[in-house]
Amino acid sequence: MLVTWSKAAIKARTLVLTMWIALTAFGLFGASHLDQYLTTSLTVPGTPSAAANEILNEKFRENTEGTFTVMYKYKQASAQQIANFKASVAQAARVIPGSEITNEKAFAGTLYSNIGTSFELKEAAAYTKALREALISQGLTGAFVTGPPAIESDVVPILSSDLQKGQLIAVVLAILLLIATLGMTWAVLIPLLFGLATISTTLGIIYLLAHKFLMVLYVPNIVELIGLGLAIDYSLLMVHRYRRELEQSQDPILQTMKTAGRTAVISGITVALGLATLLLVPVPFVRSIGLACLILPIVSILAAITLQPILLTMLAAAPKVDFTGLLEFSFDRLTNMAIAKPRKVFALTLIALSILISPLLWLQVTPSSLSAIPAHLESAQALNTVTDKVGVGVITPHEIVIDLRANAGSANIAATRFEFAKKLAANPEVFTVASGEKWPYIDASGRYLRLYVFGQHDLGSDQTKQLVHQLRDDYIPNAGFPTGTKIYLGGAPAQGVDLLNAIKSSLPTIISLILLITLFILLRTFRSLVLAVKAIILDLISIAVSFATVVLVFKFGLGTYQLQQLEAWVLILLFAILFGLSMDYEIFIVSRMREAWDRGASNEEAILDGMRNSGTVVTAAALIFISALTGLITGHFAGLQQLGIGLAAGVLIDATIIRGLLLPSAMVLLGRWNWWMPGQGKPRL
């Protein structure tokens, strides 16, 4: 079927090329307009925190994503001067249509004013510059503007700048590595054109989906930079095989699609199915990234069986200057060492990998991190001003929402609320509790009450998570309000705990599905139970090394990075992407070994043939993929840095130590049992 599709595409090359050019052009258009549809949200639908936030939005008009926070520092101001500051903030807020001051406090030499709007995140963000200018015109020079809209306004240009820088670095390094792999030839353009078409088309589809589904800010950076590496992987494998078939076959396209084309399609399906499991995570944030990444391998598969064969026939000529001999010589020496001394290589490699994996013992996760925002932005400086002065917990308070229902207006409510707040304030983890008799602590109907509980630590800390559990399991059930009262815990800390719980509860299903799907595909591909199980074990080792490297770099502060905890969404995305990528490399190499074994080669001959013909190109593809990740690693956002470093470490270790040493040495030790399948008897010697 692959051959049929490819031959049909070559026959109708003008139509196929026109279609891909049109898809690429639309994708470029969609990519340039995608930012306006991207957002950020850690809401977990159906959880108690989501229910609390819904009440806050409806009854207290607290549109969190459309609310600005203004912070103005002053020295020894009188009550009248503070009143004037408040009036100036209110006057400046008029530049935002329909806005209102929803909460305002002055303490510790700083005025804090929340400006609520009815706008969605993107619409509100558009007024950030105007608000900042209005504050200056009102004489409040030095006032900081933060909150979700301001953060959005500040972050988007930085993300775009990081992406452009990453694209430039990735393309330059990819060209150099492609020349080293393919030589000085027009064939170098094939993976780049393939990548341009697949990435652009993917972004075009995401642009359409973003009109209906939540898509987060990080999507373009992840898709473009990871997509470049993934596309080059597939295309490079097929170019390499086609060039070999030009010398050996009368129909090189036919042989290429039967072998490398089939392998690329199987690999793409494996990656796609692995990423599809992310759609089972009941968190829109994670689902949006999973959906975006899922589209990429699907588009790559379509391009591999239609566009790639045409590009091969047009551009895949032999190189005039060839540098590949040196790469093959180096990889041959590595393989020969693993085959000659399999026990020693296997043992030393496992010891080295065990040491690399050991930092996993210190793994801690967080739902999000304030340090994810670049510190030089005004919105980040405002947050740092508060945390330095008061503490990190004040930025993300717990919000207790009390629905009195039929008890609204009861005589003892005020006293009960006061006692409840007093009991909360006595907790050593609580910095202070804010409650009152008026707005914003009581809604207009008098039915709903709100208490702010400010903790001592940030939302990802163990202390904050423990406080969330104490509030839900102890304080709220024993709050003392009349029977029939419903109490909800909202705010960022509760939302973060719900997000982590949602991810943790999804992990067993996701991991089980990925393993089962992969095992089934590998059994069909390798026709060997031993090779399939071994491939999965090697994949899990690669992922463990990746996680451990992220812990080592961020938790222990190697280089310029230092975070105590890693963002949960990064780890789950790392698992899904790396499992597919590592399996790609396994399929590329072992499929070639299987071909040699089926031709009658011995176990050692098959290993050497597969490593010699696919090991070099897999290593080159891995290096190109790592070069594409530099845009994430050198960016300004902690989550993307973690993702980039984790992927780079996992891919590098996988394509060198694991596939170059552990794989061949393990296969030598297993001998003929590499090729065993239940029901087929013992494999030949």
Instruction: Give the pLDDT confidence of 450-498 residue by residue, as tens digits.
Output: 898 888 887 777 888 899 999 999 999 998 888 889 999 988 888 888 8
Alpha helices in 127-147 (DSSP H): 128-137
pLDDT-derived band at 265, boundaries 50, 70, 90 = confident
The residue that leads in pLDDT, 680 or 30, is 30
- How many beta carbons lie within 10 A of that of residue 171, not counting itself? 17
Q: Residue 388: its pLDDT value, please?
A: 60
Q: Residue 151: its pLDDT value, please?
A: 82
Could you give the residue range(s) of every CATH 3.30.70.2740 domain in the chain?
68-146
pLDDT cut 70: percent of the chain above it: 92
Q: Is the pLDDT of residue 392 over 70?
A: no
Q: Which range, of 28-42, 299-313, 490-504, 530-544, averages the lowest pLDDT?
A: 28-42
Q: Is the pLDDT of residue 561 over 60?
A: no
Residue type, 191: P
Q: Residue 383: its pLDDT value, please?
A: 67
Q: Residue 229: its pLDDT value, please?
A: 77
**pLDDT tens-place string over residues 488-524:** 998 888 888 888 888 888 888 888 888 888 898 889 8
Q: Is the pLDDT of residue 626 over 80?
A: yes
Nearest to 616 by CA among 336, 326, 191, 300: 326
Q: Is the pLDDT of residue 275 over 90?
A: no
**pLDDT tens-place string over residues 76-110:** 888 898 899 999 999 999 999 988 887 787 877 88
Q: Is the pLDDT of residue 374 over 80?
A: no
Q: Residue 546: its pLDDT value, please?
A: 93
Q: Residue 174: its pLDDT value, please?
A: 82
Q: Residue 491: its pLDDT value, please?
A: 84
Q: Residue 681: its pLDDT value, please?
A: 65
pLDDT-derived band at 628, boundaries 50, 70, 90 = confident
pLDDT-derived band at 385, boundaries 50, 70, 90 = low
**Do residues 618 and 655 touch, judged by C-beta distance below 8 A?**
yes
Q: Residue 389: its pLDDT value, please?
A: 59
Q: Residue 369: its pLDDT value, please?
A: 55
- What CA–CA distance (Å, rounded) separates 549 from 554? 8
pLDDT-derived band at 613, boundaries 50, 70, 90 = confident
Q: Residue 324: its pLDDT value, please?
A: 54
Interstrand relation of 566-567 and 365-366 (parallel, antiparallel or unpaired)? parallel
2-37+152-370+497-675 belongs to CATH 1.20.1640.10 = yes
- How many beta carbons lie within 10 A of that of residue 220, not counting itself? 23
**Do residues 192 and 171 touch, judged by C-beta distance below 8 A?**
yes
pLDDT cut 90: percent of the chain above it: 21
**pLDDT tens-place string over residues 250-263:** 888 888 888 888 88
181-197 average pLDDT score = 85
Q: Is the pLDDT of residue 670 over 70?
A: yes
**Could you tell me the CA-to-CA distances from 393 to 52, 63, 350, 388, 498 in Å, in that order?**
19, 21, 43, 11, 18
SS3 call for 680: coil
SS3 call for 47: coil
Give domain 391-493's CATH number out of 3.40.50.970, 3.20.20.80, 3.30.70.1320, 3.40.50.10860. 3.30.70.1320
221-241 average pLDDT score = 82
- Please spell the DSSP secondary structure of 87-123, one letter per residue: HHHHHHGGGSTT-EEEEEEEETTEEEEEEE-SS-HHH
**pLDDT tens-place string over residues 530-558:** 999 999 999 999 999 999 999 888 877 66
- What CA–CA distance (Å, rounded) separates 632 from 162? 8
**Residue 639, phi-psi category: left (phi > 0), alpha (psi -120 to 50), beta (remainder):** alpha
> Which structure tokens are listed for 529?
């139970």
Tell me the pLDDT of the chain averaged across its residues. Answer: 84
> Which structure tokens are listed for 651?
């891919």
392-401 average pLDDT score = 77
- What CA–CA distance (Å, rounded) separates 188 from 453? 60
| Residue 115 dihedral angles phi and psi, to the nearest 5° | -110, 110
591-611 average pLDDT score = 88
- How many beta carbons lie within 10 A of that of residue 163, not counting itself? 20
Q: Residue 656: its pLDDT value, please?
A: 84
| Residue matched to tokens 């992840």 | 222
Could you give the residue range(s) of every CATH 3.30.70.1320 domain in the chain?
391-493
Could you give the residue range(s) of every CATH 1.20.1640.10 domain in the chain?
2-37+152-370+497-675
**What are the residues whose beta carbons fall under 8 Å from the beta carbon of 145, sequence distance 6 or more?**
68, 69, 70, 128, 131, 132, 135, 378, 379, 382
Q: Is the pLDDT of residue 353 over 90?
A: yes
Element (H, E) at 431: strand 430-434
568-575 average pLDDT score = 85
Q: Is the pLDDT of residue 325 over 70?
A: no
Q: Is the pLDDT of residue 386 over 70?
A: no
Q: Residue 370: its pLDDT value, please?
A: 52
Residue type, 627: S
Q: What CATH number should be reported for the domain whose range is 68-146?
A: 3.30.70.2740
**Do residues 579 and 539 touch, judged by C-beta distance below 8 A?**
yes
421-432 average pLDDT score = 90
- What CA–CA distance (Å, rounded) separates 380 from 374? 7
Buried/exposed code over 554-591 (b: 16+ C-beta within 10 A; e: otherwise): bbeeeeebebbbbbbbbbbbbbbbbbbbbbbbbbbbbb
